[in-house]
A and B are shown apart, each in its own frame.
Chain A
Amino acid sequence: MRSRRLLNGYPKMKRLLSSVTDGKGFDILLVSLPLLFLLAFSGLPLLYNVLMSFQEVDIFSLGRLIRPFIGLDNYRELFAAPEFWPIMWNTMLFVVCSIAGQFTLGLALALFFDTGFRGSSFLRGLFLVSWVMPGLVVGAIWNWILSGDFGVLNYLLTSSGLISENIFWRSDVDYSLWAVVLANIWLGTSFNMILLSVGLAGIPKDLYEASELDGANILQRFSTITLPMMRSTIGAVISLGLIFTLQQFDLFAAITSGGPANSSNVAQYWAWELSFRQYDFAKGATVSTLMIITVMIAAVLYVRSTRHEVRI
């Protein structure tokens, strides 16, 4: 019985081996390597994070995996915290406004440079400088620009007569979140522009020519050709934008530290603050888990929206 099974298995094994050299097996091998990598370096930490959000984590039990299980207590306490909803609201405002700003400006710039005037590709390259700079450096620069008493922005606004009194961008609860949004839009616009430029370049020019012959005006051409043809690019840009804005930490650390009075605090900064300032690692993990869920929902929406994509 045993030996027969072994014998039966042998040709299968052989087929499997040969498929590695000439067929599906090779593909699977190629895919499995990055998959294993992803699992080890993204999957496990993710699961560990979720696990931690259900545990009572003491600073000295950090190194252990087995810790007291407390169910949903971390979530309950977090939802009950007076700063929870304001911070969630801030996070939403930050993400939506940052993406809206980055995307609109990025698309406008991409269309502008797509007209192909002299020096347009050089200028487009220059715009990428902002994307190359590390967030902390950008934060430090905006910190000076937005400074209340001696900031460049206030100087410009006062001397152009737009405001009569200095705005304390970083210290006024009404402005602090917008200060970071402003810096983040500046930081992300060029990345949006470059991705959208690539998308624009991929649209066959004869489509425009044909529609022009049919008498479509520029707005019609934009809404019936450019936008639908860019659907997957726009989806990718917005999903990446969502991920990058939810990741944006440096600017908060450099400009407002989430203050004053949590007025510019967002989920990602709060998670760090809970874990590494108050050493409440379980709560930090809980906030991160909530963020993971948000990103997953967004990812599903993105995948669904590109499923019926038109390809030419």
Chain B
Amino acid sequence: MKRLHILGGSVTALALLASSAFAEDVTISVWSLDKETQPAYNLAKEFNDLDNGIKVDYRIVQFDDVVTEAMRAFATGQAPDIIAVDNPEHALFAARGAFLDLTDRIAASEAIDAENYFPGPLNSVTWDGNYFGVPKATNTIALYYNTDMFEAAGLDPEDPPETWDELVETARKLNKPEDNIYGIAFSAKANEEGTFQFLPWVQMTGGGYDKINGDGAVRALEIWKSLLDEGLASPDTLTRGQWDSTGTFNSGNAAMVISGPWELNRMVEEADFNWRVALLPVPEEGAQRASAMGDFNWAIFANTEHPDEAFQALEYFASQDERLFPDFGQLPARGDIELPPTGVAPKDAALQVFLEQLKYAKARGPHPEWPKISKAIQDAIQLTLTGQKTAQTALDDAQKRIDAVLN
């Protein structure tokens, strides 16, 4: 009888121990596209090792699968606590209540201050005036140019093209078909990249995704078409993404290229010529600037069981934003962070231009049906550039399709 009692006691003690261990260790799951060398993977690991009672279960999701995987997981109640989602797709989830409203948490947070973020990225996590996420990083596009080719063509590298007309004129001067050199490279591919590259041109003229067929937008698309028709850009511009287009710049087969800071490291390695970066040319002198805004946002799924712990993780990620550029080569979405020089002169100079350009970066959307809007824009670009429709008709048609989505 006595033995039984002791046994009973020890079982109770064990149960107590076990329950206290349960109370300590909360596990949150994080899905992101970042691999071993990229920020989220490392930050999640560090947060896991902090010994604050929160364990992190990290899963890499491929870029193309993020939205479908997330939707499927959410629909079946298996969603992760935290996800990194591409910024134009943020509203898709936020508008349907799939993401947790973080407005109050951000207001009370010491690590995250909404005012520090650039307006573009912040706008992309905003829905209905509330914050449904935190920008993870940001990027934008600007004009890279080969200064050696500028000099060879008698152009001043100190004076890169500032307006659209100057851009076309410069491309004409740099174009050397006999040497397999195109004046300029960019991407008009029929995916999000095409929209990403074209929308800033429209925004500079006062248009936007909801007003795509203005005179300025038509002129922009006509200029794109003339770049292709005159042979100033490769016909493959239609099917080539930004990474491959920039590859032709790096190999000296294009004198200019429109692309983003994600190219910097590769360009430093590959390009055996001098290059610089300039702000995207504007429609005419004095016109407003605009640029694309890329990269991912953090969000917490609304049906998480551990909203507090998940937000704590986001706070940790945000507190490490200073390391984004030096450690991982990504740009923080915040204006309050000084980026230290890397010691590589062209890269540091380029960085300053990109930081300046970021101030004019505009979010795509936000709109819950962004993929449909984007598709209408892509179709207009492709139909015009392949000569099947005029820029005006193509953009008018796109406007009709967008209106149908918006209303």
Contacts and interface: CB of A to CB of B under 8 A. Distances in A.
Contact of B190 (A148, A168, A260): A260
A263 B386 CA distance: 10
A278 B375 contact: yes
Contacts of B77: 63
B238 interface: yes
Given A168-B235, A277-B371, A260 B385 contact: yes
B358 to A, nearest CB: 28
A172 B239 CA distance: 10
Given A60-B96, A257-B189, A277 B234 contact: no
A193 to B, nearest CB: 31
Contacts of A258: 190
B71 A62 contact: yes
A170 B235 CA distance: 9
B382 interface: yes
- What interface size band does chain A fall in? 20 to 34
A278 B375 CA distance: 8
B383 A261 contact: yes
B275 to A, nearest CB: 20
A256 B72 contact: no
B96 A261 contact: no
Most chain A Cβ neighbours within 10 Å, of B74, B235, B240, B372: B235
B253 interface: yes
Interface string B220-248: 00000000000000111111100000001
Given A168-B236, A170-B236, A259-B382, A62 B72 contact: yes
B371 A148 contact: no
Nearest to A61: B75
A173 B98 contact: no
Contacts of A280: 372
Nearest to A59: B71
A278 B253 contact: no
B388 to A, nearest CB: 6
Interface in B58-85: 67-68, 71-72, 74-77
Contacts of A170: 236, 239
B181 to A, nearest CB: 10
A171 B98 CA distance: 39
B342 interface: no
B67 A60 contact: no
B379 interface: yes
Contacts of A150: 180, 253
Contacts of A64: 75
Interface in A249-297: 256-263, 276-280
Contacts of B74: 60
B312 interface: no
Main secondary structure of the interface of B (DSSP, over half): helix
Given A149-B253, A258-B190, A259-B382, A278 B236 contact: no
Contacts of B163: none
B375 A277 contact: yes
Given A171-B239, A278-B371, A279-B371, A259 B68 contact: no
Contacts of B190: 257-261
Nearest to B191: A257
A199 to B, nearest CB: 40
A147 interface: yes
A149 B248 contact: yes
B204 interface: no
A176 B240 CA distance: 13
A143 to B, nearest CB: 9
A259 B189 contact: yes
B239 A278 contact: no
B92 interface: yes
Contacts of B253: 149-150
Contacts of B379: 261-262
A261 B388 contact: yes
B148 to A, nearest CB: 20
A85 B150 CA distance: 47
A63 B239 CA distance: 34
A60 B375 contact: no
A284 to B, nearest CB: 11
Interface in B361-384: 371-372, 375, 379, 382-383
B180 A257 contact: no
Nearest to A64: B75
Given A148-B234, A173-B388, A278 B372 contact: yes
Contact of A149 (B68, B76, B234): B234
Contact of B239 (A59, A62, A260, A279): A260
B138 to A, nearest CB: 24
Nearest to A274: B375
Contacts of A262: 379, 382
Contact of B382 (A59, A147, A260): A260
A148 B235 contact: yes
A295 B389 CA distance: 34
A171 B237 CA distance: 8
B299 to A, nearest CB: 15
Contacts of B385: 260-261
Nearest to A263: B386
Given A63-B72, A63-B76, A149-B253, A261 B382 contact: yes
A172 B382 contact: no
Interface of B: 67-68, 71-72, 74-77, 92, 96, 98, 180, 189-191, 234-240, 248, 253, 371-372, 375, 379, 382-383, 385-386, 388
In the A-B complex, the 7 residue pairs with the closest CB atoms = A63-B75, A261-B382, A168-B235, A260-B238, A259-B190, A171-B238, A171-B235
15 contacts: A59-B92, A60-B74, A62-B75, A147-B236, A148-B236, A149-B253, A170-B239, A171-B240, A260-B190, A260-B386, A261-B388, A262-B379, A277-B371, A278-B372, A279-B371
Given A59-B96, A260-B190, A279-B371, 17 more contacts: A59-B75, A60-B71, A60-B75, A61-B75, A62-B71, A147-B236, A148-B235, A148-B236, A149-B248, A150-B253, A171-B236, A171-B237, A171-B240, A256-B239, A259-B239, A261-B379, A276-B68
